[in-house]
């Protein structure tokens, strides 16, 4: 059934046409003048319009133009007074479906209407197919874009994983992640707050854009989330010069750093905008946090392993192997650049009597106390180590013999002023010290420097203990070939 607008003057022909169309099952709206026809055209948008040219206030050309202006797909049958092939062709080119005459039979009219409706339905079908195809193409484009975006994110995570596995430097790891996420969060910054087991301080990686007060406020707010009850100090790890003005942005997201079954830190993202990331970006950030957590955990474990390998288990000072590496490095700098370098070799006096009289636990307490006092007395640039047994050593870069003698006297004074309670006895531990300078004429290697310090220390013991001797005051013959220690 079609919605038909019939425009025809009133009369018998009008009535017959309306009755015939209605009998064929169509919904017919019949009008007899132009104003009503245009009003119905706007209101009903008919499938078919039949215009009798005998309606003298609306020409066929005007009617076809009205349809085109309204962009309607109404097809038009025109009833002309007589057959005129040229005019009919002209009207068809303007948009008419066909031209009829009053002599056209009902069968021909019905056939034209059916063919017009079929053509119109075919056109509608094509339009729907075109719309469906357009939508499908748009959906495919969106899906391809989403797939490309997911592929790029997966490639980023894979590349990031490779880059993170290439280093055990926690500062470099934080910098790598910050630079990588810049692609996904333009203008954003990434910082890491971490708590290394066994350390009292929180570590902050990569936040030069935050003032110290802001960092502390942030750390205090976030610390409970990683199981830290109080913050004694925040260590800025490779963060650079602190900013006077905070980053002109705001915290957008925080992701936990979890490894080995424990939460040890947070990855915090700062951005110039407060817009929440979409689900895909959130998944990428969560995956980045997982990679960051494992990488930082491995870096911290490696750092602890190196520290344990280089430290004396009892006193916490550098052990002999680590000290020898540092000594070799500083001696090489001394040879290349002519820098000063001195060492102090320290031996506890009568230490065997401490073990014999008070027991080995007391002896360990004396060693720990002595190590602590030495470490507190030397400068930040100096290196204190335990060589073994009751023997300690201090490496003093950029220092000559006369200056390192002052340091040795300060160590002696610190021990004198800090007696140790062993049982009911206040034990004052004394030491014998030997000082040697790398400028000594007989020093050609790191081992030579230690041998002369060893010889000076033994001279101090020979001179009654609790004293300091210089290698430069000793005879210039070579010291014994093998020192007390196996270097």
Residue 478 belongs to some domain of the structure:
no
242, pLDDT greater than 60? no
**Please, are residues 393 and 446 in contact by the beta-carbon 8 Å criterion?**
no
CATH number at residue 218: 3.30.450.40
479, pLDDT greater than 70? no
- The reported pLDDT for the residue numbered 67 is 81
Give the pLDDT confidence of 357-402 residue by residue, as tens digits. Answer: 999 999 999 999 999 999 999 998 899 999 999 999 999 999 999 9
Residue 404 belongs to some domain of the structure:
yes
d(CA 343, CA 406): 12
Give the pLDDT confidence of 280-314 residue by residue, as tens digits. Answer: 888 999 999 999 999 999 998 888 887 778 889 89
Residues 82 and 206 in one domain: no
More confident residue, 39 or 354: 354
CATH number at residue 85: 3.40.50.2300
219, pLDDT greater than 80? no
- Name the pLDDT band for 485 (thresholds 50, 70, 90): very low
Residue 162 belongs to some domain of the structure:
no
Print the domain residue range for 365: 320-473
The arithmetic mean of pLDDT across residues 92-120, rounded, is: 88
What are the backbone dihedrals phi and psi of residue 232, each rounded to the nearest 5 degrees, phi first?
-80, -40
- What is the DSSP-derived secondary structure letter of residue 471? G
Going edge to edge, which strands form the sheet with 262-271? 234-237, 202-205, 189-195, 262-271, 250-259
Q: pTM value?
A: 0.54
Q: Among candidates 272, 266, 263, 260, which has minimal Cα distance to 285?
A: 266
Q: Among candidates 45, 3, 5, 8, which has minimal Cα distance to 26?
A: 3
Q: What are residue 257's DSSP bridge partners?
A: 265
486, pLDDT greater than 60? no
Last residue of a domain, one of 276, 304, 332: 304
Residue 268 belongs to some domain of the structure:
yes
- The reported pLDDT for the residue numbered 274 is 60
């Amino acid at each position: 059934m079609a919605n038909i607008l019939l425009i025809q003057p009133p009369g018998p022909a009008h009535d017959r046409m309306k009755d015939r169309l209605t009998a064929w099952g169509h919904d017919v709206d019949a009008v007899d003048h132009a104003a009503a026809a245009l009003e119905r055209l706007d209101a009903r948008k008919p499938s078919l319009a039949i215009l009798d040219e005998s309606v003298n206030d609306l020409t066929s050309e005007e009617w076809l133009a009205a349809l085109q202006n309204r962009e309607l797909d109404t097809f038009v049958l025109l009833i002309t007074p007589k057959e005129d092939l040229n005019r009919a062709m002209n009207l068809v080119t303007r948009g008419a479906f066909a031209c009829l005459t009053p002599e056209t039979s009902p069968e021909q009219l019905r056939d034209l209407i059916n063919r017009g409706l079929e053509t119109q339905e075919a056109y509608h079908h094509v339009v729907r197919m075109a719309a469906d195809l357009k939508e499908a193409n748009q959906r495919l484009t969106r899906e391809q874009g989403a797939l490309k975006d997911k592929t790029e994110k997966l490639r980023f995570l894979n590349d990031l994983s490779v880059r993170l596995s290439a280093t055990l430097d926690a500062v470099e790891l934080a910098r790598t992640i910050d630079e990588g996420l810049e692609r996904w969060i333009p203008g954003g910054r990434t910082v890491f707050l971490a708590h290394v087991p066994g350390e009292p301080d929180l570590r902050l990686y990569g936040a030069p854009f935050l003032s110290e007060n802001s960092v502390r406020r942030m750390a205090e707010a976030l610390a409970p989330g990683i199981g830290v009850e109080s913050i004694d100090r925040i260590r800025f790890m490779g963060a650079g010069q602190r900013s006077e003005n905070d980053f002109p942005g705001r915290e957008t997201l925080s992701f936990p750093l979890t490894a080995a079954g424990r939460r040890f830190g947070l990855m915090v993202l700062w951005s110039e905008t407060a817009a929440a990331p979409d689900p895909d970006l959130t998944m990428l950030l969560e995956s980045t946090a997982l990679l960051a957590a494992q990488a930082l955990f491995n870096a911290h474990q490696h750092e602890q392993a190196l520290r344990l390998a280089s430290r004396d288990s009892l006193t916490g000072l550098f052990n002999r192997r680590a000290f020898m590496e540092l000594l070799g490095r500083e001696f090489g700098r001394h040879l290349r650049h002519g820098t000063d370098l001195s060492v102090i070799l320290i031996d506890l006096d009568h230490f065997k009597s401490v073990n014999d009289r008070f027991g080995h636990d007391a002896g360990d307490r004396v060693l720990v106390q002595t190590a602590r006092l030495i470490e507190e007395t030397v400068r930040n640039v100096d290196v204190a180590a335990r060589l073994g047994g009751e023997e300690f050593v201090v490496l003093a870069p950029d220092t000559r013999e006369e200056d390192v003698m002052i340091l040795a006297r300060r160590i002696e004074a610190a021990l004198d002023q800090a007696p140790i309670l062993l049982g009911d006895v206040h034990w004052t531990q004394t030491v014998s010290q030997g000082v040697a300078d790398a400028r000594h004429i007989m020093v050609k290697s790191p081992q030579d420097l230690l041998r002369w310090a060893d010889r000076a220390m033994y001279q101090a013991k020979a001179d009654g203990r609790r004293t300091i001797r210089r290698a430069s005051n000793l005879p210039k013959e070579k010291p014994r070939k093998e020192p007390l220690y196996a270097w």
